[in-house]
Amino acid sequence: MSEGQVVAVDIKTARLNPQEYQQNFSEMHPPLSDAAALVEADRCYFCYDAPCTEACPTGIDVAGFISMIKSGNNAGAARLILQENIIGGSCARVCPTETLCEQACVRNEQDHRPVSIGLLQRHAVDAAMTVGQQFFSRAPDTGKRVAIVGAGPAGLSCAHGLACQGHQVSIFEAREKSGGLNEYGLAAYKMLDNFAHREIEYITAIGGIDTRYGQRLGEDFDTSSLLQEFDAVFLGMGLGGVNRLNLDNEDADGVMNAVDYISQIRQVGQLSELAVGRQVVVIGGGMTAIDIATQVKMLGADEVTLVYRRGPDAMAASEEEREFTQIKGVKILYNAKPVNIVTVDGQVREVEFERKGETFTLAADMLFKAIGQSFSAKIDSALELEKGRIRVDAQRKTSVAGVWAGGDCVYDGEDLTVAAAQDGKLAARSINEYLLKSTKGE
């Protein structure tokens, strides 16, 4: 069908049969078998100054854990991973290893294929989690209490680190489930078998962590009230807002925020319950754009076109992710800016774009916006912001004494799950030092 050709709106549920849904939403990268893990581990050169470790935001000893897998010690490998990144299981599934540790692998210069570090990490962590093997124990109770806002990767990482030190942690979560983007915002084919929930159970099994759901910062509490009740506070609530296109008809029927629809995909009982159009347009160039485009195609849309305003080199989504979505049948158009949303009777029918001074239109009965999220939490005015996000130092301290922050809500972050995990870990160490000093009266 040619660009701009309008057809009747056709948005409906159950476009596919059960077998097609199951096949489409199977593992993006199937796990390694024990034998395959040994073969892959044997490809590692075990570099002394391993560049892969330097490239990992959480500093996991990559060569060390792969060496343990090679020797058959999956438990030891899992311990090395989790002591640096307690959500290493999720990160092994969703982090862009192809642009982090695997890009730094020296194998890239030899046979042009890096060691599959992400799959090996998943292999080790999954083996430990399957049998409930714990590597951490809770220190004696210190009597100190810490409030954490947000049960996403940053908050969970911080909570676990503090609980290990014997502090009592209370997590305040706005939604009805923990996990943040791992639970609500990632493509379903990346996080199967309720893994996000199982990982949370594994993390909180250490004890000393309670979660209060339906609690939203700025509405049910604020940082000032938390500081009256707790000895320290960590803010890890992520980004709640969604950027707008600022076009007419942006609120028309069929125009949706990608993150909202991805959340529906993750939480719906049956994928066949989700309504999807025949001609779908996605605007954006990051991982959310890739995730929504791929998934609506998997849900049965006839045509899915992802449109990005710049060239491929500027896209936040990795080359591997772009190739994956194209293999699934998504068309990508570059250097095109949306200029108009055309509606008929309040329903989106076309999207007009400008490219090199010329315009073209794409027929669309569904339009997804995936142009980034914005900081929307209601915070105390004493917290300093920079470019709309919370300003922190290297230890993730904010401008307010006793308050730390990490994850997507802080300025100059990488907007990655693994970066959020590192923020939580560093904040937990800093908070622990702060609490110990206060105990000694320093």
Which domain-ending residue is among 354, 372, 390?
372
Same domain, 205 and 310: no
CATH number of 345's domain: 3.50.50.60
Same domain, 281 and 342: yes
Cα–Cα dist 197/22, whole Å: 20
**Token digits of residue 437:** 């000093």
Within a domain: 11: no
Within a domain: 4: no
Within a domain: 12: no
Within a domain: 163: yes
Within a domain: 3: no
User: Along the 442 residues of the chain, how does pLDDT read in single tens digits?
Assistant: 445 455 568 899 999 999 999 999 998 889 999 999 999 999 999 998 999 999 999 999 999 999 999 999 999 999 999 999 999 999 999 999 999 999 999 998 766 799 999 999 999 999 999 998 999 999 999 999 999 999 999 999 999 999 999 999 999 999 999 999 999 999 999 999 999 999 999 999 999 999 999 999 999 999 999 999 999 999 999 998 899 999 999 999 999 999 999 999 999 989 999 999 999 999 999 999 999 999 999 999 999 999 999 999 999 998 999 999 999 999 999 999 999 999 999 999 999 999 999 999 999 999 999 999 988 888 888 999 998 899 999 999 999 999 999 999 999 878 899 999 999 999 999 999 999 987 766 6
Count of domains in the chain? Answer: 3
Within a domain: 215: yes
**Who's near 81: CB < 8 A, 6+ residues apart?**
60, 65, 88, 121, 124, 125
Q: Which residues pair with 366 in a beta bridge?
A: 280
Query: What 8-state DSSP symbol labels residue 306?
Result: E
Same domain, 60 and 208: no
Q: How far is CA 142 from CA 139, 268, 300, in A?
A: 8, 41, 54
Same domain, 65 and 97: yes
Same domain, 83 and 57: yes
pLDDT of residue 5: 55
Within a domain: 230: yes
Same domain, 252 and 364: yes
Same domain, 253 and 336: yes
- CB count in 10 Å sphere of residue 327: 9
What domain range is 325 assigned to?
Answer: 18-26+242-372
Within a domain: 136: no
Nearest to 28 by CA among 92, 108, 124, 86: 92
Angle, helix 62-70 to helix 117-130, in steps of 10 degrees = 60
- β-sheet with 366-370: strand ranges across: 255-257, 366-370, 279-284, 303-307, 331-333
pLDDT of residue 2: 43
Same domain, 83 and 108: yes
pLDDT of residue 377: 86
Same domain, 366 and 257: yes
Same domain, 153 and 77: no
Q: What is the pTM of this model?
A: 0.93
Same domain, 110 and 182: no
Which domain-ending residue is among 61, 96, 130?
130
CATH number of 48's domain: 1.10.1060.10
pLDDT of residue 1: 40
Same domain, 255 and 368: yes
Which domain-ending residue is among 372, 395, 411?
372
What amino acid occupies position 147? Answer: A
